[in-house]
Amino acid sequence: MKLALNIAFAAAVSAAVLYAGWHVSGPFGLVLTAPVLALFGRPIVDIITGYHRFVGRLAMRRYEGRYYEFRGRRMDIHVDADATCWIATDDVRKIAALPADPVLCRVAPGGCRELGDPPMWRLSTDGATRVLSKSTDPEVAKFLTWLDREVALPARNRRERRM
């Protein structure tokens, strides 16, 4: 937005000065006031140098703030406004055995629901802890530790900083 305002301002000033030069001295005045077009130089260079970063952000916008990885497995996690982290049940099933989604809703009331973009069944970090804490698999214990330290704790810290 700031860049667009800079370009619009530079275009307005350049047009005004060039018109005044033409109006006062004709073609000779236009030649003398042509260096005013250098006002466009900086914004154009900013556009060209920022293009690569813009395209990268545009391509990765879908994953921004949502990309997490546990031991080489991609985890789709949605963080809501209350800093509650909701992990896709399909991704949790890659790590541990989970019951079907309707059963999860009964086992962890309030901890399992359908949300996110795209909408899919998700399990909150508290719900995942309730459901998976009974497991004796060391991989599940590592997953729960990772979920608390790498996902839930930073989300809570961000929420506290905003308050």
Instruction: Give the total residue count for the chain.
Output: 163
Q: Which whole number is the average pLDDT over 12-25?
A: 86
Q: What is the pLDDT of residue 142?
A: 92
Higher-pLDDT residue of 56 and 117 is 56
- pLDDT of residue 44 exceeding 80, the answer is no
Q: Which whole number is the average pLDDT over 8-31?
A: 84
Contact 70, 141 (CB under 8 A): no
Whether residues 84 and 147 fall in one domain: yes
Whether residues 53 and 114 fall in one domain: no
Q: At what angle do helices 125-132 and 138-146 cross, to 10 degrees?
A: 160
Amino acid at 68: Y
Whether residues 127 and 156 fall in one domain: yes
Share of the chain above pLDDT 70, in %: 95
Whether residues 97 and 129 fall in one domain: yes
Q: What is the DSSP string of the chain?
A: -HHHHHHHHHHHHHHHHHHHHHHHHTHHHHHHHGGGGGGGHHHHHHHHHHHHHHHHHHHHGGGTTTEEEETTEEEEEEE-TT--EEEEHHHHHTTS----HHHHHHHSTTTEEEETTTTEEEEEHHHHHHHHTT---HHHHHHHHHIIIIIIHHHHHHHHHH-
For residue 151, CA distances in Å to 19, 76, 124 come to 59, 11, 11
Whether residues 73 and 146 fall in one domain: yes
Last residue of a domain, one of 40, 63, 86: 63
Q: What is the pLDDT of residue 160?
A: 79
- pLDDT of residue 1 exceeding 70, the answer is no
Last residue of a domain, one of 63, 86, 102: 63
Last residue of a domain, one of 33, 48, 63: 63
- The CA distance from 127 to 150, in Å, is 17
Share of the chain above pLDDT 90, in %: 1
- pLDDT of residue 71 exceeding 70, the answer is yes
Whether residues 74 and 43 fall in one domain: no
Whether residues 83 and 135 fall in one domain: yes
Amino acid at 11: A
Whether residues 149 and 76 fall in one domain: yes
Q: Which whole number is the average pLDDT over 70-99?
A: 85
Domain of 144 in residue numbering reads as 67-162
- pLDDT of residue 64 exceeding 80, the answer is no
Whether residues 94 and 52 fall in one domain: no
Q: Which residue(s) pair with 114 in the sheet?
A: 121
Q: Which whole number is the average pLDDT over 51-61?
A: 82
Whether residues 85 and 144 fall in one domain: yes
Q: What is the pLDDT of residue 76?
A: 84
Encode burial over 124-138: b for 16+ CB neighbours within 10 A, e otherwise.
bbebbbbbbeeeeee
- pLDDT of residue 43 exceeding 80, the answer is no
Q: How many domains does the chain have?
A: 2
Higher-pLDDT residue of 81 and 87 is 87
Whether residues 38 and 92 fall in one domain: no
- Mean pLDDT, the chain, whole residue set: 82
Whether residues 71 and 55 fall in one domain: no
Q: Which whole number is the average pLDDT over 47-56?
A: 83
